[in-house]
Amino acid sequence: MGGLTVMRALKARLPNESFVYLGDTARLPYGTKSVDTVTRYAVQASAALMKHDIKLLVVACNTASAAALPVLAETLAPLPVVGVIEPGAQAAVAAAPDGPIAVIATEGTVRGGAYVRAIQAIAPHMPVVQQACPLFVALAEEGLRDGQIAELAAQRYLGPLLATMPRPRALVLGCTHFPVLIDTIAKVAGPDVALVDSAQTTAAAVEAILQEKGLLNMDGVMAPRFLATDAPGRFAHLGEIFLGEPIDPGAVTLVDL
């Protein structure tokens, strides 16, 4: 579901492109699963998307980007494959060049250290602190974007993280679900911490690749197509929270991976 926040940014930046989106609703969440399992799921999902004659694949999930991006890039070559972690790391370093940088994400993304590696590949001595925030995923999917429950969860997760010294100057929303909670996160983090949403920088990276390869579409757009592995009606209903616009239940196709 969270990948719809990335699709939202892509649609805004690339209004003439057509999109097909696969939500693996039967097997979520990915954030608590092993690297091998997430990689296997990501390969299966990408194979289903390849049947739609795609010209570029966006891995719109931080956990899947961390676990499976190298395998997908090799398996699908020469098709361009873009993850969300490297663009997010670049944006974080740009927002806080002197650091420190904090990252909130799922357990799997934090455990794998993908953001730490990506940030320190750009700025080798950058201090990075991390915090897994598994409840944020459930809150986002239940539509509990603000109010007492969301705020208490944010205080519980962010309090110790932001108390580290020196205080982080940027906070990476390292899960595509988390932008739904951005108002609550911003309220708890305070105005002196820059929030980094990798969806925007991912969209910029996609635009640059399409432009470089001469693949930008200038001729209009097809209606988005959606694939879900379970409960397409629920996907359409909840997806509106993440995409920021209604999803026609008739546009969601049930698929078996």
d(CA 21, CA 57): 10
* Catalytic status, residue 133: no
Token readout for 86 is 């490297």
Pair 130, 115: CB distance under 8 Å: yes
Compute the Cα dihedral for 97, 99, 103, 109 and give only its sign: positive
Q: What is the CA radius of gyration of the chain?
A: 18
Start-to-end C-alpha separation, the chain = 17
Q: What's the 3-state SS for 34-90?
A: CHHHHHHHHHHHHHHHHCCCCCCEECCCHHHHHHHHHHHHHHHCCCCEECCHHHHHH
Query: Which tokens belong to 13?
Result: 């930046």
Known active-site residue 175: yes
Query: Which of 4, 137, 175, 185 is flagged as catalytic?
Result: 175
CA dist 132 and 140 (Å) reads 15
Residue 231 CB neighbours (<10 A): 15
Cα distance between residue 75 and residue 70, in whole Å: 9
Q: Which of 61, 81, 126, 203 is catalytic?
A: 61
Specify which residues 132 forms β-bridges with. 105
Please list the active-site residues. 61, 175
